[in-house]
Amino acid sequence: MTIYNFAAGPATLPDQVLAQVQAELTNYQGTGLSILEISHRSVQFTTLLAQAKQLLLQLMNLTEREYEVLFLQGGATLQFTMVPLNLANKFHRVAFVNSGHWAERAMAEAKLIPDLAVEEIATSAPQFNHFPTVEFTGPAQYDYLHLTTNNTIFGTSLKQLPAANLPLVGDLSSNFLAQDYPFDHFDLIYAGAQKNLAPAGLTVVVVKKSLLSQMPTALPAMLSYRKLAAKDSTLNTPPVFQIYVAKLVLEWLVSQGGVSAMEAINRQKAQLIYEVIDQTNFYHNPVRPADRSLTNIPFTTGNSALDQTFITTAEQAGLKNLKGHRLTGGMRASLYNAMPLAGAVALRDFMLQFAKDHAE
């Protein structure tokens, strides 16, 4: 039986990448050492790090001249603190779009920073069933605007970046390299790797180099983009294995045609599931169609016992981890880059059959 993993994260990785990891696990590039044992100061690792940075910039259509790539730890959650610490220097005032749980978590962490005004300028609370519209009137005296481009739990995503005349910061954790954006409109992008890029334990930050020199120098080193960048992400021991897997995934993404090609496939996969939801009248998804996520699709039958039967039966059929987030209940299908089209087809077919078997 083919197994498909619909988990929201840590999530499925491309089969080819896992096969390569397995093949060279005990002997990395003829060194006789495992990648798990390799020094972050070795030529092998520094070469790998440089390649990973270059591949990432290439995929995002960004230049090394303008953008720095940092490979960090602490998850996207640590970025909720690092971003304001490093970027909120001029106005000491930051703006947030509250598109759901993760945006709220980011705001809550920013509020813990002394003397920082944190303002919610748009929200889709309490239902979070659409992406809030962002409109700025007058001069925007904020150090930055923070967006969470994809709402992993409620299943909404931002389709078009707002035309805002201020630095843009994006938490792209759950549609990183899965949905195409003009990445150069962002001043800083961050993403936890465990959904679209690598095993948990790696966080990617892509930041405009012009901002680095304006950042405070008095921050503790591990919280300072400036100091981390000056040491090329190796201020301490970086997550070597995660960066290695990220590099393989980035190579795989290039071989698939890059971010726009991935988005096209992700659209097809998502479409298959949304079609069943909309056409059967058996499943429900509360999100405004224009704002629906390509990567996380929450749905329910409207009956929690039946939802549980769905999850258990799907698991037995090899469709794993479809249980919804604890905040929403029901089901959630996460269709990140590494989920093959065949996985979405298998889920679509299962949903159709389940609806037939359980229709009243």
Tell me the three state secondary structure of residue 227.
Answer: helix
Say whether residue 77 binds ligand PLP (CB under 6 A): yes
Which pair of structure tokens corresponds to residue 324? 């919804």
* Of the residues 102, 131, 252, 336, which one makes contact with ligand PLP according to CB under 6 A: 102
Q: Minimal distance in Å, beta carbon 282 to ligand PLP?
A: 28
Token pair belonging to 234: 């190796």
Task: Tell me the two tokens of residue 42.
Answer: 């070795």
Report which secondary-structure segment, H or E, holds 119.
strand 117-123
Which one from 102, 187, 247, 269 is the annotated catalytic residue? 102
Closest CA to 197 of 76, 291, 46: 76
Q: Which is nearer to ligand PLP, 149 or 300 (CB)?
A: 149
H or E stretch including 43?
helix 43-59
Residue 11 in tokens: 């999530």
252 is catalytic: no
**190: part of which helix (H) or strand (E)?**
strand 188-192
Q: Which of residues 176-195 bind ligand PLP (CB under 6 A)?
A: 192
Residue 143: active-site member: no
Annotated binding-site residue? 76: yes
Stretch of 17-25, 166-174, 205-213, 247-255 lying at the interface with ligand PLP (CB under 6 A) = 166-174
Of these residues, 53, 195, 269, 323, which one is catalytic? 195
Sign of the four-CA dihedral 69, 73, 77, 79: negative
Q: Answer yes or no: is 77 a known binding residue.
A: yes
Which is it for the CA torsion 134, 156, 11, 110, positive or negative? Answer: positive
Write a three-state SS string for 106-118: HHHHHHCCCCCEE
Task: Say if residue 237 carries a ligand binding annotation.
Answer: yes
Residue 296 is labelled as binding a ligand: no
171 assigned ligand-binding residue: yes
Determine, following the binding rule CB under 6 A, whether residue 173 of this chain makes contact with ligand PLP.
yes
Rounded distance, CA 26 to CA 34, Å?
A: 4
Q: Is 195 a catalytic residue?
A: yes
68, 109, 143, 171: which one binds ligand PLP (CB under 6 A): 171
Identify which of residues 330 and 355 has a Cβ nearer to ligand PLP in the complex: 330
Minimum CB separation of residue 331 from ligand PLP in Å reads 17
- According to the annotation, is 309 in a ligand binding site? no
76 near ligand PLP, judged by CB under 6 A = yes
Closest CA to 156 of 32, 294, 267, 258: 294
Contact assessment for residue 107 and residue 97, using Cβ atoms and an 8 Å cutoff: no
By CB under 6 A, residue 9 contacts ligand PLP: yes
Annotated binding site: 41, 76-77, 102, 152, 171, 194, 236-237
Annotated binding site for L-glutamate: 41
Residues of this chain that interact with ligand PLP (CB under 6 A) are: 9, 75-77, 102, 148, 152, 171, 173-174, 192
Catalytic positions = 102, 171, 195
